[in-house]
Amino acid sequence: MLRSVLLSASRSDRLRQVATDAPPARAMVDRFVAGETTDDAVRATSGLVESGRLVTIDHLGEDTLDLEQAGRTRDAYLALLDALGDAGLTGSAEVSVKLSAVGQALPGDGEKIGLEYAHAIAEKADALGTTLTLDMEDHTTTDSTLGTLRELRAEFPSTGAVIQAYLHRSEADCRDLAVGGSRVRLCKGAYSEPQSVAFVDKADIDKAYVRCLKILMQGEGYPMLATHDPRLVEIGGALAIRNEREPGSYEFQMLYGVRPDEQQRLADQGDRMRVYVPYGTEWYGYLVRRLAEKPANLSLLARALVSKG
């Protein structure tokens, strides 16, 4: 119930405005977001890489209905990639892109613009020796995003996909994507979805995650296990052994600010561990989804409001 209220709030323009103007929210933002500027993102990346972790960087923003804004987001990614190149970090850091931030949600030819802008990012990433992963948004965009993925992979085969285990369709999508050279990030799914398309019960979502993971681990591709769930991390490790996967033929991924000690433990024991680092000013939707995943985070926010407000 609380989760679905929070997930609806994540798409409210009015609440977005109120929260963005409320300085006490800063403490929460700082925990989950690496900063506002390219320099902030590069600095956070550099620290994580020094600690033995890999990074994927998200320039925050989504659901853009403004062509110029979509262009600014594309340009921010291009500048970020240049900065990563200058800092010698492209061997350890890639970028994550929400297609709705680069035009997919625009009426009319949004899908075409999303592809064109994502292509520009993929081209720059490729030239600098890194790559991108296309984040997955709500289920109405899944077909369009997988279509864009296919187009990008034809030219840039390392372009990564995200599959959300909670969708009923995802086992079939995993089968399609479990092929040589295909990078697939498997997550539980963070949006408010109807029961007609998605599992909503936590135990059902966890079981679906394991079914999808088995397909990816048995396949020829490169699975990226995006979860903080200790049971699923353990099952992932066991499936890697059972499928005789070499170290480096799969990786774990977690979000910036979530279970950092576990991130470090996995990196220290020799696993590939990648941290998803969001930065930028458009943090509202991202932050509210993090609150929905762990309502205890709400009490941190409440404490921040009481102590600073």
Residues binding ligand FDA (CB under 6 A): 135-136, 162, 164, 185, 187-191, 226-229, 253-255, 258-259, 276, 290, 293-294, 297
Q: Is 135 a catalytic residue?
A: yes
Q: Which of 135, 138, 206, 271 is catalytic?
A: 135
How far is 180 from 290, CA to CA, in rounded Å?
A: 33
DSSP assignments along 184-236, one per residue: EEEE---S---TTTB--SHHHHHHHHHHHHHHHHHSSSEEEEE---HHHHHHH
Beta bridge partner(s), residue 21:
none
Please state, in angstroms and as integers, the Cα–Cα distance from residue 214 to each residue in 177, 211, 234, 247, following that order: 13, 5, 13, 17
The least distance separating ligand FDA from the CB of residue 65, rounded to whole angstroms, comes to 20
Are 96 and 73 in contact, with CB atoms under 8 Å apart? no
How far is 63 from 51, CA to CA, in rounded Å?
A: 34
The least distance separating ligand FDA from the CB of residue 134, rounded to whole angstroms, comes to 8
Q: Which of 185, 274, 289, 290 is catalytic?
A: 185
Which CB, 67 or 238, lies closer to ligand FDA? 238
The least distance separating ligand FDA from the CB of residue 244, rounded to whole angstroms, comes to 25
Extract the tokens encoding 120. 């520009």
Which CB, 74 or 290, lies closer to ligand FDA? 290
Which CB, 124 or 290, lies closer to ligand FDA? 290
Q: Is 276 helix (H, G, I), strand (E, B) or coil?
A: strand
How far is 139 from 134, CA to CA, in rounded Å?
A: 14
Which CB, 110 or 236, lies closer to ligand FDA? 236
The least distance separating ligand FDA from the CB of residue 153, rounded to whole angstroms, comes to 17
Please state, in angstroms and as integers, the Cα–Cα distance from residue 139 to each residue in 82, 114, 167, 168, 190, following that order: 32, 17, 8, 10, 11
Beta bridge partner(s), residue 167:
198
Which CB, 38 or 170, lies closer to ligand FDA? 170
The least distance separating ligand FDA from the CB of residue 43, rounded to whole angstroms, comes to 20
Catalytic site positions: 135, 185
